[in-house]
Structure 1
Amino acid sequence: MARIDKKSIISGSIANLVFRNVNGKQIVQSKPEKVNQTKATKLSASEFTQCSRWAKKLRISLIPFLVGLTDTYMYKRLTGQLYQALQTNTAKLKGQRTPCNADMSALAGFEFNTHSPFADYFLPNLAISLDSQRQLKVLIPEFEPKTEVVFAEQTYQAELVVYVLATNLEPDKAVVETHFILPIERQMDLVPATSWTSLPLPPDYFVLATAKLMYYNTNKFTARNYVNNKELNPACVVFAGGW
């Protein structure tokens, strides 16, 4: 419906035309066409919305591990990669798949800080698997720190931290978490092969394992002085799954 005011300016709509008054001038536009979403489109949109919620749950759980030392767009990148990993499960119907019932291995390798990718700073290959008892097993091969670990400038000590969390992704449910720390000395000839096994994790929970390098200096008078920052905080996802 359209109206004409005292200045003969039309406002409103007639058929497919929309009349507006902009700074005293008559503007005529076509009505925007309505977009009819298909059922598949609606399901995809709903799935992405769910991924945003799941990613938020994971981000909150990771706060103590990441302590804010991520790149600016990490949150958006995590949501996007979580969604892409979910999409690889083509055997399941959209709207029915979740990280708790789907193969999420495509999330492994996600870097929390693109300024200092974990894969560039820690070269040994971490072998990680979830056994039939739902215990996460981590195997770190023997390695030489001088050639296979990139240290921060003027630091000679580091820690490899592997942090594991299991969650059903419900906002009101606490996560189950555990971790271990491997000390690394720059001057060591070799770090022997190391294995670690978690306690059994709850069934039907999504399991996420992350790893990062923490650099520090010490002397006999002070405690450890960690030097990680927003430019140097190598951290990534090393395992994602549990279905």
Structure 2
Amino acid sequence: MGRFDGKRIIGLVGGLVFKKGRNGKTIIQSGGREVKQTKASKIASAIFAKASTLSKAIRTDLSVLINGFYDGPMVNRLNKQNREILEQCYNKATKQYAFNEDSFSRLAGFEFNASSPLSKSLWVEPELTLTGNQLTLSLPAMEINEQLKFPSPCNRCEITVAVAFYNLEKGVHKDIVFQVLEVNTAQGLVPAKDFTFEVPDGCLCVIGIKLGYSTLKDNVKIIKNNKEFNPAGLCGAVITPGEFVLTPGVVVPHGKLASVWKTVDKLRLLS
């Protein structure tokens, strides 16, 4: 309802909104009106909400790779990628999602920082294989400054590989696991390396990699990675076969019971 402040009318009057402008003049705008959503728009909105929730969980869980060093549009890019995946997997007739092992394979190659793409520093293709409950990311042998580029004057690189876990039916996730391989320019050649992780049944496993560069001189280490330079991205995503079993709680210090799996609000993909 509009009110008179002694000089002018302020607020909603009928279908108009009266506001006080910076120059003291009154601004008149049309009032908001309720827009009815169609069935299709409601579905699209629900899918987008779940895609945004999953994307946020991935960004948070893989913060060991991102460390806040991402480009501005990255959040929207990941939301868009997951939205398109969920739209492809949603059956409008049954109102259910149907996933297979490779449903999220398009996440492979996603860059967390477009200003410093992982693909420009790592000139080999990581290979992802799933054998039983063993998920392995394999890197072939790399020649320093040929397949693994070093920005000047850096002479050290920590290759970090991390895996995030999600059960999309129950809407839960668990703490990530990661491994680090340290290399330096004096090696000349980095031997082939397998990063192997134990993964649960019935889960979406998202795996990523980061190259953390530094310069070590006179026992002083200077970190290179920053907001403008952080080669990091996703190498792949796979949904493991089998039936997911929620791991019972574990005893933590002081005798308290903590759950291995934690709920991600609004992530359950049942309808």
TM-score above 0.5, yes or no: yes
Q: Distance in 1 between matches of 2:16 and 2:219?
A: 77
- CA shift at 1:233, angstroms? 0.2
2:258 corresponds to which residue?
A: none
1:206 corresponds to which residue?
A: 204
Query: 1:86, 1:102 within 8 Å by CA — same for their partners in 2?
Result: no
Q: Distance in 2 between matches of 1:68 and 1:100?
A: 32
1:238 corresponds to which residue?
A: 235
- CA shift at 1:68, angstroms? 0.5
2:159 corresponds to which residue?
A: 160
Larger Rg: 1
- Closer/same/farther in 2, CA of residues 60 and 21 from structure 1, 3 Å limit: closer
1:51 corresponds to which residue?
A: 51
Question: What is the SS of the residue equivalent to 1:78?
Answer: helix
Matches within 5 A, 1:12-31: none
Matches within 5 A, 1:90-239: 95-97=95-97, 103-131=103-131, 133-168=132-167, 173-199=172-198, 201-222=199-220, 224-239=221-236
Relative to its length, the structure with more strand (as a share) is 2
Cα-to-partner distance string for 1:165-201 (whole Å, 9 max, x where unaligned): 11236999551421122222224332121122112x2
Question: What is the SS of the residue equivalent to 2:222?
Answer: strand
Unaligned residue ranges in structure 2 (runs of 5+): 1-11, 241-271
Q: Distance in 2 between matches of 1:192 and 1:147?
A: 14
Give the alignment's TM-score, normalised by structure 2. 0.70
Matches within 5 A, 1:54-69: 54-69=54-69
Question: What is the SS of the residue equivalent to 1:48?
Answer: helix
Cα-to-partner distance string for 1:45-98 (whole Å, 9 max, x where unaligned): 111111112222222212233111111222222111111222333667685228
2:41 corresponds to which residue?
A: 41
Question: What is the SS of the residue equivalent to 1:148?
Answer: coil
Question: What is the SS of the residue equivalent to 2:179?
Answer: strand
The letter for the 2-side match of 1:147 is: E
Q: Distance in 1 between matches of 2:178 and 2:75?
A: 23
Q: Distance in 2 between matches of 1:211 and 1:123?
A: 13
Q: Distance in 1 between matches of 2:101 and 2:125?
A: 27
Q: Distance in 1 between matches of 2:29 and 2:48?
A: 37
Q: Distance in 1 between matches of 2:29 and 2:227?
A: 51
RMSD of Structure 2 on Structure 1 (CA): 3.4
Count of paired positions: 225
Unaligned residue ranges in structure 1 (runs of 5+): 1-10
- Closer/same/farther in 2, CA of residues 169 and 226 from structure 1, 3 Å limit: farther
- CA shift at 1:20, angstroms? 7.9
Query: 1:44, 1:95 within 8 Å by CA — same for their partners in 2?
Result: no
Q: Distance in 2 between matches of 1:240 and 1:93?
A: 27
Q: Distance in 2 between matches of 1:126 and 1:179?
A: 16
Question: What is the SS of the residue equivalent to 1:237?
Answer: strand
Question: What is the SS of the residue equivalent to 2:216?
Answer: strand
Cα-to-partner distance string for 1:140-161 (whole Å, 9 max, x where unaligned): 1112112112212211221211
Query: 1:86, 1:98 within 8 Å by CA — same for their partners in 2?
Result: no
